[in-house]
Structure 1
Amino acid sequence: MLSFITEIPEGIKIGSVHCVPVLDNGDVVMVWDRDEKVLTTIGGRLEPGESIMEGLIREALEKAGIQISDERTLFAAWHWKEFDAYRLFYLVGVRRFVERPEGYETTGYVRMNFDTAIEKIKAIEGREERIEVIRRAGILSGRLAEEAE
């Protein structure tokens, strides 16, 4: 279940962290997961003893070769039933791109505007929670208009 949050609720288990990096021109950066065949947010599981921010920084580097800026806004959490843990989502700025370490499951990053990202996710898999994460990130970054209820 996806929830939009601004603070981490007390007492929940955090299993993974993901980010939605936004470039200065407003483009979003996502990765192609070759195992799952999906366009996805950048992130993964926390390693033992790793803080949320350490995991966020590591995952952005490993999955997309991105050094994220200090601009980091928590905006969503998704309950991962299989592990009874939560995946946190952060809107982040991009400091710079660097060479991505070898041996990770993505085939690299793609950059596009938020509308295109949503359309591509719909065409590839149609997973509503992923669409809603990108939509909310687009709204928070000022790149998508808030839809009327």
Structure 2
Amino acid sequence: MATKTSKRAGESSTTVSVGIRIDPKIKFSLDIMGRLQKRSLTAVIEWAISNAIANQKVDLDPTVTLSLDFVIDRIWSTDESTRFVNLCFDMPQALTYDELRKWETIKVSSVFWYTRPDGSYDVGDEYINLSAVRSGWHSLGEHVEKYKSSTTVVPIYESQIVAL
């Protein structure tokens, strides 16, 4: 996935290029829709996807169903590690196996949590030390990759985290 940053001074907007294959009839339909809406093909596709996201429902638990765009607004951060932690707490059912392995490593590693004097801690969004996750993000990824074939989740310790 390629990113393209605007050339205008002071502008921080970034877009992502996505290559897709679509049926010729759908492409034709998008072209016609763009003509009717006086929008570019890209703008029509973004509009259609935004509408699909707004209409997608997410069951957070048996009693709470929200629109995906509402949940994404809660999860989204420009910081990858923060976004990941938010996803883990708000929509764990969307985690891939590799993401789940990283999350389970975070959960068993006290370095990422506010601990009690005896070293114990609770796993919850109010107890996670996002600053520690941010500073250890690269080391965490390498650690999880190193132990990916282990049948158990291996905690990472403060001494294993290399500050970047």
For the superposition of Structure 1 and Structure 2, which TM-score range results when normalised by the shorter chain? under 0.3
Q: Say which one has the larger Rg.
A: 2
More strand by share: 1
Answer 1 or 2: higher relative contact order, Cα 8 Å, separation at least 6.
1
More helix by share: 2
Normalising by structure 2, we get a TM-score of 0.22
